[in-house]
Amino acid sequence: MAPARVVKVAAVQAATVSFNLNKSLEKLEKLVAEAAAAGVDLIVFPEAFLSGYAWRYAFDATIGAREPRGREWYAKYYESAVAVPSPAVDIISKSAKSHGVYIQVGIIEKDGGTLYCTALLVGREGSVLLKHRKLIPTAAERLVWGNGAGDGLQVVETDIGKIGTLICWENYMPAARLALYQQGVEIYLAPTADDLPAWIASMQHIAKEGRCFVVSVNQVSRVSDFPPDYPPFTPEHHDRKPDGSKWEPNDVVNRGGSFIVGPLGIPLTEPVWDKEAIIYADLRMAEVTESRLDFDPVGSYSRPDIFHLTVNTKPGASVSFTK
């Protein structure tokens, strides 16, 4: 028998340098080098790693009103965002190629005047394999980020397995998950900003439901990871911690909780809380097939005579001008 194929993955639980693209890219390069030195095949970064999840800020917008300060901070957010293609993407591609690894990184993508929450998968040779925009931003995110489209609901076949991704609460959309299952996803990447206890159970459920490996990766961030004048954490802002006290530089804003799950829903690593870390796991890919002995979401349990999912894979609407 041929030796079992093993894929080594790294989930990078780290804070971005918020609103600073250049420094965030420098941090990404260092973390990629560290993970690559451990012999990994795939390195996964959190949601919005380039260049930040705008924690606790709705850019001074309320129903019926927008304030000048919020527009100014939106412009700062836009300036720290990533266009695709761009020199920033070239840096990610160069890093992947020089180390011979796959890299998926969460970016705030700018396209026209709109921002998107996007996951970018780059291959070993430096080419962009997948650009997935979050289909539905959650709650107040909808003011700041546009909606993604079905063209990003793809599973990419690679030499390490079939890779797909959904971002944060997209993972609670059954049809979106099924779209990946239907394409035979084996390594399911779930970058997130959710550090609630229920998220852990959700990732175990998805791994067992999809009969796939799940890499759940989140930032761990503190007040000090944001600019000193970032409105939610300044003394004059109305926002306070849940206990009513003011924010301090060392206060944790997002606790992390990154971990990796096998295709029977059994964790391969324990969630890591409140510190930066690179979480490693060896994925024995034969376990995907083994797990489907008694349950296959798009095979033995699919019942296509009853159920059918149709996915519109066309890109989102765009505006063109003709003369």
Catalytic residue among 168, 186, 208, 287: 168
Structure tokens at 241: 């911690």
- Euclidean distance between CA atoms 136 and 38, whole angstroms: 35
Q: Cα angle vertex 121, ends 190, 264, to 5°?
A: 35
- Euclidean distance between CA atoms 178 and 174, whole angstroms: 6
- Euclidean distance between CA atoms 277 and 268, whole angstroms: 16
Catalytic residue among 134, 170, 186, 209: 134
Q: Is 30 a catalytic residue?
A: no
User: Which among 273, 139, 149, 134 has a CA at the least distance from the CA of 200?
Assistant: 273
Bridge partners (DSSP) of residue 214 are 188, 261
Strand segments, DSSP code E, in 17-150 are 42-44, 61-62, 65-66, 102-111, 114-122, 128-133
Catalytic residue among 27, 47, 110, 117: 47
- Euclidean distance between CA atoms 6 and 25, whole angstroms: 29
- Euclidean distance between CA atoms 141 and 67, whole angstroms: 17
- Euclidean distance between CA atoms 180 and 173, whole angstroms: 11
Q: Is 212 a catalytic residue?
A: no
Cβ pair 162, 183 in contact under 8 A: yes
Q: Is 134 a catalytic residue?
A: yes
Structure tokens at 144: 């700041």
Cβ pair 92, 21 in contact under 8 A: no
Which positions ≥6 away from 180 have C-beta within 8 Å?
153, 155, 164, 166, 188, 210
For residue 64, give Cα distances in angstroms to 60, 61, 79: 11, 8, 26
Query: The dihedral of CA 182, 165, 123, 113: what is its sign?
Result: positive
Active-site amino acid positions: 47, 134, 168
